[in-house]
Chains A and B, each alone.
Chain A
Amino acid sequence: MGLRVTFNGQFRDATTNVERASERLLQFQRQVSSGRRLDRVSDDPSGASSALGERTKIAQVDQFTRSTDSAYSRLTVIDTVLSDIVTKLTAAQVAATSALGTTPTTAQRTAAAEQLDGLKAALLDDFNTSLQGNYLFAGTKSTSKPYVTGSGGTVAAYAGSSTEIQVDIEEDRAVTVSFDGGAITKGSDSTDVFAIMDSLIAAVNAADSTAINSGIASLQNVFGRVTAAQSRVGASMQTLDAEKLRLSATKLASSERLSKLEDANMAEAITGMQQADTAYKAALGAAATAAKVSLMDYL
């Protein structure tokens, strides 16, 4: 005896096949319309979990990129200020040198002294440079001026912190964005640049060539520390340039991996959808044909 084909069995088979085909079609349709391979976590649990990791990586790279940009703009300002300080120091040395010896007249000395006074004020402004309310040469005490002028025009000792502020531009990699002003103006010397300028002005006015010479030598020390700081800034800026490239490469790689995990392969999805559509129509056709004829029709 052959297989008994029962009405319910036929019906169950037909509906199951139609349901399966339509479910498959729906899956592909969802992929094509949403463009996503992962619609629910259960579509690919391990893929979803990897996608989370990539997203976190991208978020972090974005954050490092923001930090890099912000550090870069601060360092640009610092670099400009340091260049300006170099110019001022050179000008001060030139002015002091012009007052050396016995040739300069009193008027010329006074002029040189006034020029030095002006340069001192300019240097003070430079070291008190602030960006968005933060003093760039005050270390971690960045909310208050590192140098304030007391009574009689004397600049008080460094009020900033010797701790510098760093920001992270990568895991375990940071750049300094707020410098220890004291280390530049004074370093291991006994007096800072402002005191040197004060004594230099006094020496120029007094036509004391020995004192002028020692003042010029002291300025040279400051000059050395400023250019050292400038090379640090330059090196940091180079690091940041390289870092930006690396970050964008990392982000691209992560985004590509994320896309592979989450995005539908359109060519595949569309082909799949067409196949599923054909299968669905075939299942419908088969179901309709199977139920159409019966011996009852011939009685």
Chain B
Amino acid sequence: MSDLLTSLNSAARSLDAQRFGMDVTGQNIANVNTPGYSRRTLDLVWIAPYDKTSAGGGVEVIGVRALRDRLLDRRLQQELPAERREAAIAEALRTVEAAIGRPGESLDVKLNAFFDAFAKLADNPTSSVARQEVLLQGGTLATSFQDMAARLRSAQADSDQQIRAVVDQVNTLTSRISALNATASHAAATGALPALQDEQLYLARQLSELVDVSVIDHGNGVVDITLGNGKPLVVAEHQYDLGTSSTAPLGYASITAGGVDVTSQITGGRLGGLLQVRDVNVPAYLDQLDTLAYNVAAQVNTLHTAGYDQTGTAGVAFFTFSPSIVGSAGAAEALIVNPVVAADARKIAAASITDVGDNQTARGIAALRDARVLNSGTATFTDAWGQMVYAVGRDSKDAADDQATREEIVRQVDQLRDQISGVSLDEEAANLLKFQRAYEANARFFKACEDTIDSLLRNLS
């Protein structure tokens, strides 16, 4: 049979338990805005009676539990890399879009102006003004190609800079995770495990935004992290850095893990998106631009060298490349008006015969504007430029649309996760009230026991 002192003891324990409940509520409210915090709940259990005359030993605190859903956390780790990848692509391509300019304000205008100049020359092949105009527009066109290529190159270089920065961030995050792994057993002993796991999950989430990783949670406060392809980044307390090495010819960073080049295997996260832009998107645009520049030069030169200039001499190449190129690679960056022609407008070949009044060559070059000379005779120069503009716009729009869809998924998963792990202030207020009232009631019980003992003692005296 329980005695009064036992009751007093159990009341004191109850008071402790309710106060602890208020503490937990306070902790939840305090961390309502802390990223990665999972709401805590107090696990209480009643103490069973010792015998049939005992009412029970009151309440006991089992512990504090962090409320999480591993499936949702894993889902986030899967969705985030894809979402961040598209976001990085969309962001980088926005710069590329700005670089290529709006229709009617870009290379298409320069192309038209160039062919206009030749058409004017055809109208008046002996006019020195018309010849100067051809030189001017030819020069402007070449400069536009150079500038466009330079802007694409700089977008590529920007992505490379960011890639190096992201690799540093990845290493910082993995080193923090491995440091937390090292303290796991100590945290388990001191009850700090939920806090440690919250932080680990939060870091893993940040890591998922940067690169696609697999997170293996051992459940005891130790998580292992591997790259999507299985290369380890964190194994218990050991961390393996991602490295960068500048690779010829452009000096862009290759990404290495354990000395092995893993660049091509990284597809997700911000890193994957930046690599896609740097290694796939921009090179494709540059290639299209180079092909266009190369063909403009080749087609104009073919006609120009077959013609005769104002002195009745056979024409020289109108466009050349400086530095010289092999194939069409680098054509846009190197395109210039042949210095020989640039120095003397009379060197422009307008005639197809030695008569200076003839305009056949100028007419032929002006007619190139509409000639289907590209993509095996299916596209004009403007078509080819239009295709490039379309490709950039399409890629940018696709990335932005895809990102919007995935962002919504992430948001939904975040909402679901919040339903379990998030702090609801109303709920905490109710909990606060609950524990407060329980504390007050227990205090009354305590007082009643004390009063009973007191009156018993008074009777004895």
Interface residues of A (CB under 8 A from B): 3-9, 12-13, 16, 38-46, 48-53, 55-56, 59-60, 62-63, 66-67, 70-71, 132-135, 138-143, 161, 163, 165-168, 171, 174, 178, 262, 294-296, 299
Contact = CB atoms under 8 A, between A and B. Distances in A.
Return the 4 tightest CB-CB contacts between A and B, nearest first.
Answer: A142-B357, A45-B393, A6-B422, A41-B393
A138 B97 CA distance: 52
A12 B411 contact: yes
Interface string B70-111: 000000000000000000000001100110101110001101
Given A6-B418, A8-B32, A8-B418, A67 B119 contact: yes
A66 B120 CA distance: 8
Interface stretch (B153-161, B188-196, B218-226, B380-388): B380-388
B433 interface: yes
Given A8-B418, A12-B415, A48 B366 contact: no
Interface residue SS majority, chain B: helix
Contacts of B382: 52-53, 56
A52 B108 contact: yes
Contacts of A12: 411, 414-415, 418
B424 A49 contact: no
Given A42-B97, A67-B119, A133-B126, A55 B419 contact: no
Contacts of B124: 70, 132, 134
A41 B94 CA distance: 10
A41 B400 CA distance: 13
Contact of B102 (A41, A46, A50, A163): A41
B425 interface: yes
A41 B97 contact: yes
A56 B430 contact: no
B389 interface: yes
A159 B236 CA distance: 97
Nearest to A295: B429
B355 A41 contact: no
B426 A294 contact: yes
A178 B357 contact: yes
B151 interface: no
Interface string B347-374: 0000101011111000100110110000
A299 B433 contact: yes
A75 to B, nearest CB: 13
Given A168-B366, A295-B426, A45 B390 contact: yes
B419 A66 contact: no
A78 B219 CA distance: 97
B357 A139 contact: yes
A138 B422 CA distance: 92
Size class of B's contact patch?
A: 35 or more
A294 B433 CA distance: 14
Contact of B411 (A16, A49, A139): A16
B152 interface: no
A56 B418 CA distance: 55
B126 A52 contact: no
Contacts of A71: 123
B140 to A, nearest CB: 15
B422 A141 contact: no
B59 interface: no
Contacts of B429: 294-296, 299
Contacts of B104: 51-52, 55, 262
Contact of A9 (B33, B357, B422): B422
Given A12-B411, A141-B357, A168-B367, A4 B126 contact: no
Contacts of B383: 53
B47 to A, nearest CB: 28
Given A143-B357, A163-B353, A55 B103 contact: yes
Given A48-B393, A52-B108, A3 B419 contact: yes
B294 interface: no
A296 B394 CA distance: 51
Interface string B415-438: 100111011111101101100000
A180 to B, nearest CB: 12
Contacts of B423: 6-8
Contact of B116 (A6, A46, A59): A59
B397 interface: yes
Nearest to A36: B102
A140 B393 contact: no
A51 to B, nearest CB: 4
B351 A38 contact: no
Contacts of B392: 41-42, 45
B423 to A, nearest CB: 6
A56 B385 CA distance: 11
26 contacts: A5-B424, A8-B418, A12-B418, A38-B103, A40-B393, A41-B97, A44-B393, A48-B389, A49-B387, A49-B389, A50-B386, A52-B386, A59-B112, A60-B115, A60-B369, A62-B116, A63-B120, A138-B357, A140-B355, A140-B358, A140-B359, A143-B357, A163-B353, A163-B355, A168-B122, A295-B425
B396 interface: yes
B162 interface: no
B126 A13 contact: no
A40 B366 contact: no
Looking at B103, B369, B400, the one whose CB has the most chain A CB atoms below 10 A away is B103
A129 to B, nearest CB: 14
A102 to B, nearest CB: 50
Interface in B100-156: 100, 102-104, 108-109, 111-112, 115-116, 119-120, 122-127
Contacts of A49: 386-387, 389-390, 393
A56 B379 CA distance: 13
